[in-house]
Amino acid sequence: MISSIAELISDRIGSMPAGERRAAQTLIANYPLTGLKTVAEFSAAAGVSSPTILRFVARLGFQNYPEFQSALQDELAAQLQSPASRTLNPGSVGGAASPMLEATLDNMRETFRHLTDKQLADIAARLAERRGKTFLIGGRFTDPLARYMAAHLAIIQPDVYHLAGQESIWRDRLIDMGKRDVLVIFDIRRYQESLVRFAEKAHHRGVQIILFTDQWLSPIARFARHVIAGRTAVPSAWDSSAALFVVAETLIGAVTRQLEAAGAKRIRDLESLR
Amino acid sequence: MISSIAELISDRIGSMPAGERRAAQTLIANYPLTGLKTVAEFSAAAGVSSPTILRFVARLGFQNYPEFQSALQDELAAQLQSPASRTLNPGSVGGAASPMLEATLDNMRETFRHLTDKQLADIAARLAERRGKTFLIGGRFTDPLARYMAAHLAIIQPDVYHLAGQESIWRDRLIDMGKRDVLVIFDIRRYQESLVRFAEKAHHRGVQIILFTDQWLSPIARFARHVIAGRTAVPSAWDSSAALFVVAETLIGAVTRQLEAAGAKRIRDLESLR
DNA sequence: CAAAATACGTAACATAAGATACAGCGTTCC
DNA sequence: GGAACGCTGTATCTTATGTTACGTATTTTG
Q: What is the DSSP track for B30-58?
A: TTTHHHHS-HHHHHHHHTS-HHHHHHHHH
Cis peptide before B190 (omega within 30 of 0): yes
Q: Tell me the per-residue pLDDT of A218-255, one tens digit each, with 9 for 90 and over.
A: 989 888 888 999 999 999 989 999 999 999 999 999 99
Cα dihedral B33/B84/B93/B75 (nearest 10): -40
Averaged confidence pLDDT in chain A:
86
Q: Which of B28, B88, B253 sits opposite A237 (nearest CB)?
A: B253
Q: Are A72 and A5 in contact, with CB atoms under 8 Å apart? A: yes
Q: What are φ and ψ of residue A136, in 5° steps?
A: -130, 140
Cα(A232)–Cα(B190) distance, integer angstroms:
30
Q: Which of A118, A147, A237 sits opposite B147 (nearest CB)?
A: A147
Averaged confidence pLDDT in chain B:
87
User: Which residues on chain A are in Cβ contact (under 8 Å) with B76?
Assistant: 33, 76
Architecture of the domain defined by A5-81: Orthogonal Bundle (1.10)
- Contact at CB, A249 and B238, closer than 8 angstroms: yes
Q: Tell me the per-residue pLDDT of A22-43, one tens digit each, with 9 for 90 and over.
A: 888 788 877 888 999 999 999 9
- Whether the pLDDT of residue B3 is over 80: the answer is no
Nearest CA-CA partner of B33 in B62, B6, B67, B61:
B6
How many CB atoms sit inside 10 A of residue B198's CB?
22
Cα(B266)–Cα(B77) distance, integer angstroms:
48
Q: What are φ and ψ of residue A93, in 5° steps?
A: -120, 130
Q: Give the helix ranges, DSSP H, for B142-259.
A: 143-156, 167-172, 193-204, 242-258
Instruction: Enter the DSSP assignment of B191.
Output: P
- Contact at CB, A121 and B253, closer than 8 angstroms: no
pLDDT of residue B2: 67
Q: Which residue is nearest to nucleotide D6 (CA to C1')?
A: A17
Give the CA-to-C1' distance from A61 to D1 in angstroms. 40
Residue boundaries of the structural domains of chain A: 5-81, 99-273
Across the A:B interface, residue pairs with CB atoms under 8 Å apart total: 201
For chain B, how far is it from start to end, CA to CA, in angstroms? 52
Q: Are B72 and B36 in contact, with CB atoms under 8 Å apart? A: yes
What's the fold here for domain B5-93?
Answer: Arc Repressor Mutant, subunit A (1.10.10)
- DSSP codes, chain A: ---SHHHHHHHHGGGS-HHHHHHHHHHHHTTTHHHHS-HHHHHHHHTS-HHHHHHHHHHTT-SSHHHHHHHHHHHHHHHHHS-GGGTSSTTS--SSHHHHHHHHHHHHHHHHHT--HHHHHHHHHHHH--SS-EEEEE-TTTHHHHHHHHHHHHHHSS-EEE--S-HHHHHHGGGG--TT-EEEEE--SSPPHHHHHHHHHHHHTT-EEEEEEETT--GGGGT-SEEEEE----SSSS---HHHHHHHHHHHHHHHHHTHHHHHHHHHHHHHH-
Nearest CA-CA partner of A209 in A230, A232, A179:
A179
pLDDT of residue B136: 97
- Contact at CB, B250 and A36, closer than 8 angstroms: no
Q: Which of A83, A96, A217 sits opposite B86 (nearest CB)?
A: A83
- Whether the pLDDT of residue B91 is over 50: the answer is no
Average the pLDDT over each of A93-97, B25-29, B30-34, B242-246 and give the range with the smallest value: A93-97
pLDDT of residue A89: 41
Q: Are A42 and A26 in contact, with CB atoms under 8 Å apart? A: yes
Instruction: Enter the DSSP assignment of B163.
Output: -
B55 CB neighbours strand C below 7 A: yes
Q: Tell me the per-residue pLDDT of B201-215, one tens digit each, with 9 for 90 and over.
A: 999 999 999 999 998
pLDDT of residue B111: 92
- Whether the pLDDT of residue A94 is over 70: the answer is no
Residue type, B148: Y
Domain at A99-273: CATH code: 3.40.50.10490
3-state DSSP assignment of residue B5: helix
- Contact at CB, B151 and A144, closer than 8 angstroms: yes
pLDDT of residue B264: 65
Q: Are B139 and B195 in contact, with CB atoms under 8 Å apart? A: yes
How many CB atoms sit inside 10 A of residue A168's CB?
8
Grade residue A112 by pLDDT with cuts at 50, 70 and 90: very high
Grade residue A264 by pLDDT with cuts at 50, 70 and 90: low
Q: Which residues contact A244 (CB under 8 A, 6 or more apart)?
A: A111, A142, A145, A186, A188, A212, A228, A230, A232
List of long-range contacts for A38-44, beta carbons under 8 Å, 24+ apart? A39/A65
Cα(B217)–Cα(B215) distance, integer angstroms:
5
- Whether the pLDDT of residue B89 is over 80: the answer is no
Architecture of the domain defined by B98-273: 3-Layer(aba) Sandwich (3.40)
Grade residue A92 by pLDDT with cuts at 50, 70 and 90: very low
Q: Are B241 and B233 in contact, with CB atoms under 8 Å apart? A: no
Cα(A62)–Cα(A58) distance, integer angstroms:
5
β-pair partners for A172: none
User: Which residues on chain A are in Cβ contact (under 8 Å) with B100?
Assistant: 249-250, 253
Q: Are A75 and A4 in contact, with CB atoms under 8 Å apart? A: yes
Q: Per mean pLDDT, which of A95-99, B60-64, B95-99, B133-137 is the most reliable? A: B133-137
- Whether the pLDDT of residue A67 is over 60: the answer is yes
Averaged over A64-87, what is the pLDDT?
77
- Contact at CB, B241 and A249, closer than 8 angstroms: yes
Calculate what percentage of chain B has a pLDDT beyond 70.
88
The residue of chain A nearest to residue B19, with distances taken between CA atoms, is A222
Nearest CA-CA partner of A122 in B11, B138, B59:
B11
